[in-house]
């Protein structure tokens, strides 16, 4: 079964750091790009960032709201994606999802999602 | 950024009703429009991609239409399992995608 599982969420104080992980199973994460999205409590979905597969350069892009604070990386040998979040703000409080366009890359439709991991930034 | 505007933001309907949700893009996005269903506490689930293509495993009562700036998602006969929040997503500016604000479908 093709699956993504996130971990690493929790309660963190403003200004501190947290690293989320996303483990892929049933497929080789290295062959695919992936994205991180988030959803603040009671709000809609927001794109956070994107990582290209090595075949397409392995580069990352970020939303303006997190650029310079968040870093996406990947360990393709372990099929794990990471979201390093530094200088966290209260407005970063959200459920974070990793997702990929496994079978829908042409129209960039997210067909595989993790279950989400909750990040709460509060003093 | 391309803004996506969904309407209505919420609606009440009965089982068996035909329901239509609309999504408007702030500029033309061709057919780069996807639809998702999300239930409380769960990740979104892809329903429609490329504006009108039904994702594998999704019931045929769901359909999508539109191109350019105006799109719609229709549920032909609302079922109890369909009460959820629906989001549109533009992928014209991939990977910098944006979502509509959501439409919550509630039981009348």
CA distance B47 to chain A (A): 9
C-beta separation of B74 from B63 below 8 A = yes
| Cα distance between residue A100 and residue A98, in whole Å | 7
Give chain B's radius of gyration (CA, Å): 13
C-beta separation of A9 from A97 below 8 A = no
Length of chain A (residues): 123
B42 contacts in chain A (CB < 8 Å): 115
Mind listing the pLDDT tens digit for each residue in A72-122? 999 999 999 999 999 999 999 999 999 999 888 888 999 999 999 999 999
C-alpha dist (Å) from residue A50 to A18, A35, A87, A99, B58: 18, 4, 19, 10, 26
Mean pLDDT of chain B: 97
A117 in reach of chain B (CB within 8 A): no
Q: What is the pLDDT of residue A106?
A: 86
Q: What is the pLDDT of residue A102?
A: 87
Q: How confident is the model over B83-103, as a mean pLDDT? A: 97
Say whether B32 and A107 touch across the interface (CB within 8 A): yes
Say whether B36 and A110 touch across the interface (CB within 8 A): yes
Nearest CA in chain B to A63: B96
Mind listing the pLDDT tens digit for each residue in B74-91? 999 999 999 999 999 999
Q: Is the pLDDT confidence value at B108 over 90?
A: no
Mean pLDDT of chain A: 96
Q: What is the pLDDT of residue B23?
A: 98
Say whether B49 and A44 touch across the interface (CB within 8 A): no
Q: Which residues contact B81 (CB under 8 A, 6 or more apart)?
A: none
């Amino acid at each position: 079964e093709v699956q993504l599982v996130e971990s690493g969420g929790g309660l963190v104080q403003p200004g501190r750091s947290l690293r989320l992980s996303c483990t892929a199973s049933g497929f080789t994460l290295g062959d695919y790009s992936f994205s991180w999205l988030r959803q603040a409590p009671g709000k809609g979905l927001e794109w956070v960032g994107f990582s290209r597969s090595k075949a397409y350069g392995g580069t990352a892009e970020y939303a303006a709201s997190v650029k310079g604070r968040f870093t996406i990386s990947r360990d393709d040998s372990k099929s794990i994606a990471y979201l390093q979040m530094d200088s966290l703000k209260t407005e970063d409080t959200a459920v974070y999802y990793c997702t990929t366009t496994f079978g829908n890359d042409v129209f960039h439709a997210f067909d595989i999602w993790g279950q989400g991991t909750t990040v709460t930034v509060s003093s | 950024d391309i803004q996506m505007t969904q309407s209505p933001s919420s609606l009440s309907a009965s089982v068996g009703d035909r329901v239509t949700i609309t999504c408007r893009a702030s500029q033309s996005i061709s057919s780069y429009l996807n639809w998702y269903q999300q239930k409380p506490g769960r990740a979104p689930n892809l329903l429609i991609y490329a504006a009108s293509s039904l994702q594998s495993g999704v019931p045929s009562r769901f359909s999508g239409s539109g191109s350019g700036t105006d799109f719609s998602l229709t549920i032909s006969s609302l079922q109890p399992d369909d009460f959820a929040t629906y989001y549109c997503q533009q992928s014209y500016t991939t990977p910098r995608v944006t979502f509509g604000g959501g439409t919550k479908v509630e039981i009348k």
